[in-house]
Structure formats: C-alpha cells, structure tokens
C-alpha cells in the first residue's frame, strides 16, 4: 500500500470528573468518552523522500513540528527507523472538519490516524493495543481516538474500558469560532481553584475513585435509558471555563432551555453540546438556537454519536 485515506472522528466527553494530582504532574481523571460522526479526513501518501510533509485545509492549524499529526509521524520514524529507511517519508494532507481548540480532540484524532496509516503503509502489523501504547506518548486522548466508541477512561485518560455503545443519539454542537480554550489553562485553573479538594496518595485516590459519580451514567447507557443519559452528563471543567467565558455560559443556558436530553460542555471546551433523540429534534434545536443567538461567529453543527474510531476507506 503506497497511500491511504483515513476518517478521524472527533469525541465528546459525556462525563469528566477530576480526582486529584498524579506524580507525573497530570490529573487523575474519570471520563466517559464518546466518538461522534464529525470527522477530519486524512490522505497519507508515500513518496519516497527523506521526511514528512504536512498540509492542512484550516488556516489556524500549524503545519510544522507542533502539529500533533506531524509529531505522530516523527514518533513512528523514531520507533521504526528501519521501516522509515525502507519506505521513506509521506505526504500528510488534513482536510479539517473538526472545530479547532474546541474540546473535541481534533489534534489527537489526526495523530491517531497517522499512527494507523503509517502502520499500514510501512507494513508494520501493529495491533490496536500496540498502536494505543504509542499513542499514549503523544497525548492522553490519542489511545481513545484509535479505537473510539463509548469508553470509560481513567488514569490521565489513557486507561480505557469500552462499555455498551451509545450510538443511536444525535447531537447539536455549538462553538464560537473565534474562541479557543487551552486545555492546559483549564486544568491549571481548576487546580488553583479546587486543588484543596484533591486527593493524591495512592490509597486515597483508590478510595476517591470508588466514590466517583459516573456509575449512574454508565448504567443509563447500558440500559439505553436516553433521558437518564442526558440527566447524568457531567463535566468538572465547566466550573472554571464557564465563569471565564460568559458567551459560552450563555450558549449553554440557551441550548439547555431549548430542550433535548441534556446539555454539557465537552472536555476543556468551549464546545457545548446537546444530546437529542432524533435528527429532527437536533435540527429543531439548532434552528431555535440560531434564532436565540444571532451571531455569525457561532458555529452550530449536527452530528450523530458513533461506535468507531479511525477508519481506513
């Protein structure tokens, strides 16, 4: 195989609870991650040159060594030097559809796609768990993005326990295009404001984890109880992001008042999403939100929950 096309889906957090600090400086988390149909499309093409070349359709996305997809290619080169020497570099083209810096794992899913694509082009035969272990080196969301679906993620987000698929629901996403929230800012601010409630020694973390509130949501997902799924959505990072960005707070209130099963911020934001029973309900909520907030900067998208991660087409 000399080239491949990959579909790289975004994710939303149905649940995000911060437990405490880890020795490595990250946060100990309990999350429920959910793939959605909204996806970037990547073309990876072997051209036999010395290195990697990356282009992206979105002007705000860097195309240098700070692009996470580029980092993924460099990691593969480092780990599989012989394959790189045999097959050479690749051209990576990202057709961006996932809003940037939005809490939707746009960069992570592009990186996941490059790991999957190079595994094929370089004929490495790596398994999904092996690719996920590589993905951990790039970012906490990368392992999830490889296989996708509906997953309870613990640790810093890299320990994955797939649960019953939660896929027959629609979702309205709202994001102000000019607003970007830095994930590290959100977590650092949370630490400053709520760090006194953290637990950090191993025994305390284990006992705190036994008290996490994700159980009712996991149960609602396995019972396919859609109203309860909407009711039990949760995200601790709302406590720092919403007070700082009043536009986002207002968007959340507006979407919640309009209806749907439930409304929440995804990850570190600023994307707000509303879960819906049907496409018709999602269209209706989107139209009403557009009437309520007449701002061309507000991007409103409709998509579906999905049970897949990176797809090769």
Q: Which of residues 123-162 bind ligand ATP (CB under 6 A)?
A: 141
Overall size of the chain counted in residues: 313
C-alpha distances (whole Å) from 226 to each of 168, 201, 204, 255, 260 are 9, 37, 33, 17, 10
Q: How far apart are CA 116 and CA 34, in angstroms?
A: 19
Q: Of the two residues 69 and 75, which places its CB atom closer to ligand ATP in the complex?
A: 69
Using CB under 6 A, which residues numbered 91 to 130 contact ligand ATP? 94, 100-108, 110
Give bridge partners of residue 93 from the DSSP assignment.
Answer: 43, 55
Site for ligand ATP in 65-94 (CB under 6 A): 66-69, 94
The dihedral built from the CA positions of residue 174, 178, 183 and 187, taken in this order, carries a sign that is negative
With tokens 């049970």, the residue in question is 307
Nearest alpha carbon to residue 96 among 38, 139, 142: 38
In the bound complex, what is the minimum distance in angstroms from residue 69's beta carbon to ligand ATP? Answer: 5
Closest CA to 93 of 61, 138, 57: 57
Question: What is the rounded distance in angstroms from the CA atom of residue 67 to the CA atom of residue 110?
Answer: 9
Contact call for residue 183 and ligand ATP (CB under 6 A): yes
Which residue's CB is nearer to ligand ATP, number 230 or number 270?
A: 270
Active-site residue set: 11, 141
Looking at the Cβ atoms of 61 and 116, the one nearer to ligand ATP is: 61
Among 62, 227, 243, 259, binds ligand ATP (CB under 6 A): 62
Taking the complex as a whole, how short is the minimal distance between the CB of residue 305 and ligand ATP, in angstroms?
17
Burial of 74 (0-12, 13-18, 19+ CB in 10 A): middle
Residue 236 as a binder of ligand ATP (CB under 6 A): the answer is no
Q: How far is the CB of 225 from ligand ATP (least distance, A)?
A: 27
| Touching ligand ATP, residues 16-55 (CB under 6 A) | none
Give the nearest distance from C-beta 224 to ligand ATP in angstroms.
27
State both tokens at 51. 């290195």
Do the Cβ atoms of 248 and 177 come closer than 8 Å? Answer: no
Q: Which is nearer to ligand ATP, 103 or 148 (CB)?
A: 103
Nearer to ligand ATP, 20 or 270 (CB): 270
Phi, psi of 283 (to 5 degrees): -60, -45
Binding residues among 254-283 for ligand ATP as defined by CB under 6 A: 267-268
Query: 93 Cβ partners below 8 Å, 6+ apart?
Result: 42, 43, 44, 45, 54, 55, 56
CB of 40 to ligand ATP, least distance (A): 7
- Please work out the total of residues on this chain that contact ligand ATP, with binding judged by CB under 6 A: 22
Residue nearest to ligand ATP (CB): 107
**Nearer Cβ to ligand ATP (55/206):** 55
Q: Which residues bind ligand ATP (CB under 6 A)?
A: 61-62, 66-69, 94, 100-108, 110, 141, 180, 183, 267-268
């Amino acid at each position: 195989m000399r080239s491949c096309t990959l579909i790289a889906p975004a994710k939303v957090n149905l649940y995000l609870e911060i437990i405490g600090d880890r020795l490595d400086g990250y946060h100990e988390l309990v999350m429920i991650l959910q793939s959605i149909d909204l996806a970037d499309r990547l073309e990876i093409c072997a051209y036999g040159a010395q290195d990697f070349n990356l282009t992206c359709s979105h002007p705000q996305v860097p195309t240098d060594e700070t692009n996470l997809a580029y980092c993924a290619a460099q990691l593969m080169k480092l780990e599989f030097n012989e394959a790189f020497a045999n097959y050479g570099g690749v051209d990576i083209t990202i057709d961006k559809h996932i809003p940037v810096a939005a809490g939707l794992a746009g960069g992570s899913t592009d990186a996941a796609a490059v790991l999957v694509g190079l595994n094929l082009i370089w004929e490495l035969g790596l398994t999904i768990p092996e690719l996920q272990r590589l993905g951990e080196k790039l970012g906490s969301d990368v392992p999830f993005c490889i296989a996708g679906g509906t997953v309870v993620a613990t640790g810093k987000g890299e320990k994955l326990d797939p649960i019953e698929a939660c896929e027959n629901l629609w979702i309205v996403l709202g994001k102000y295009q000019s607003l970007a929230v830095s994930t590290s800012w959100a977590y650092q601010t949370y630490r400053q404001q709520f760090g006194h409630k953290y637990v950090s020694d191993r025994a305390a973390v284990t006992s705190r984890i036994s008290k996490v509130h994700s159980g009712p949501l996991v149960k609602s997902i396995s019972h396919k109880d859609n109203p309860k799924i909407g009711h039990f959505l949760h995200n601790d990072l709302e406590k720092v992001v919403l007070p700082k960005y009043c536009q986002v707070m207002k968007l959340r209130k507006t979407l919640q008042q309009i209806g749907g099963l439930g409304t929440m911020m995804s990850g570190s934001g600023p994307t707000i999403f509303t879960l819906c029973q049907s496409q018709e309900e999602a269209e209706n909520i989107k139209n009403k939100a557009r009437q309520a907030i007449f701002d061309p900067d507000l991007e409103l998208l409709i998509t579906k929950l999905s049970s897949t991660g990176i797809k090769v087409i």
